[in-house]
Amino acid sequence: MRNYGTFIEKETASTYIEPFLSTLRAERTKTEYVGYIRILCEYVCKDFMEITLEDAHRTFHNWKERIRSGELSKKTVCVRLSCYNSLARYIESVEGEEYRNPFEHIERPEVADKINPLNVPTLEEMDRIMSAASSDTMAFLIFALVSRCAISATKITHITKDSVINEGGRVGLIFSETAAYKSDNVVMLPDDVATLFMNYIQLPGFRDKEGHIFYNKHNRPLTIKNLDTLASKYIGMAGYKYTLKDLRSLAIIEMANAGVSEADIMRYVNIGPMRTRQFYEATSVYNECPANAVNYRLVV
C-alpha cells in the first residue's frame, strides 16, 4: 500500500484510489497523484471521501491566494485540480448518485504560457495535415473542429449527440460548464465544418448510452491520450511535429488577425483575458492569410 498520510482511510485507498491509479499508465504520474491527494487530505484534515463542496472551495481559494503571493504556481494548482477531478469522477462512476464530485465547478486558475507563433502551423502546412488525414473520416473532422473552430482536445472528448444544436439551419455545439470549462459555451460551426459534422454523426456505427461520437479502436470514447496518438500519426505523416494545441492556436490567431474583438474571442473560444491578449500579441509575428481559418460571421 502506498503512503497516503494520516487521513486517508484504508477502505478509501483500496476501494477507490488504488483502482483509480491502476488506470494510469506512468508510475511517475501515479506517484505524483498520491502526493497531491495526500497534500489535500492533510490540508483539510479529512479522508478524500469526506471532502465537501465547502472544503474544496475554501482550499482552492487559499491556493489561489498563494498563487498571487508567489508561493504556488498556476500550473501546480491546475494539475492538482485535474488530479482531484479525475479521482472524483472515478468515484462517481463507481458510486453513482451516492457521491458528488466537490471539485466539478471549481474554476481553474488561468495559466498563461508564452505563445510562440513560430510553433503554429501555416495554412499551407495545415492543408497538408488535412490531406494526410483525408482517408480517416473521424480524424479529418477532429482536425477541422480544432483548427477551424478552436475546440480544445478536452471538449472533443466530451462531444455527444446531445451537444448538437441547430438554430435556423446553423449548426453548433454546446458545452456545459465543468471544471475544464469556465462557463457554458456555444460554438457555432462554419458551414463546411457543420456539413462534415452532420454527415459524420449520421454514419452507422457503435454508440454508447451517453451518445459519444468519437471512439477508439476498442469502441470506447476517445481519451486525451487517444487524441494525442491520432494527432501524432497524421501530423507526422504530413512531415510535421505539431500538436492539437498548436492547431487550435492557429484558429485563435487567425481570429485575432481578422480583427475579431478580444471579448468575442473570449466568448467563442472560452478562454480568459490574459490568454486572449497573448494570442493578439502573437499576431505581430504570425501573419498568415487572415480570416481563412474560421467563418467569422458566426463569431460576432
pLDDT digits (tens, 9 = 90+) for 15-71: 999 999 998 888 888 999 999 999 999 999 999 999 999 999 999 999 988 888 888
Task: Spell out the residues 6+ positions from residue 147 whose beta carbon is closer than 8 angstroms to its own.
Answer: 121, 126, 130, 247, 248, 250, 251, 293
Q: pTM value?
A: 0.59
Indicate whether 131 pLDDT > 60: yes
Are residues 184 and 51 part of one domain? no
Are residues 125 and 93 part of one domain? no
| Residue 276, domain extent | 117-298
1 occurs within a structural domain: no
Which helix (H) or strand (E) segment is 151 a member of? none
Which helix (H) or strand (E) segment is 15 a member of? none
Indicate whether 290 pLDDT > 60: no
112 occurs within a structural domain: no
109 occurs within a structural domain: no
Q: pLDDT for 188-202, tens place per residue?
A: 898 999 999 999 998
Are residues 135 and 85 part of one domain? no
In a 10 Å sphere around its CB, with 0-12 CB exposed, 13-18 middle and 19+ buried, how is residue 243 labelled? middle
Provide φ and ψ at 46, rounded to 5°: -145, 160
DSSP state of 114: P
Q: In what order do the strands lie in the sheet with 185-188?
A: 164-167, 170-175, 185-188
Which helix (H) or strand (E) segment is 300 a member of? none
Are residues 192 and 73 part of one domain? no
Tell me which amino acid residue 149 is.
Answer: C
16 occurs within a structural domain: yes
Q: What is the dihedral of CA 87, 90, 94, 95, to 10 degrees?
A: 60
Task: State the cell numbers at 188.
Answer: 457555432
Are residues 80 and 28 part of one domain? yes
Provide φ and ψ at 166, rounded to 5°: -135, 110
User: Of 49, 71, 98, which residue sits at a domain end?
Assistant: 98
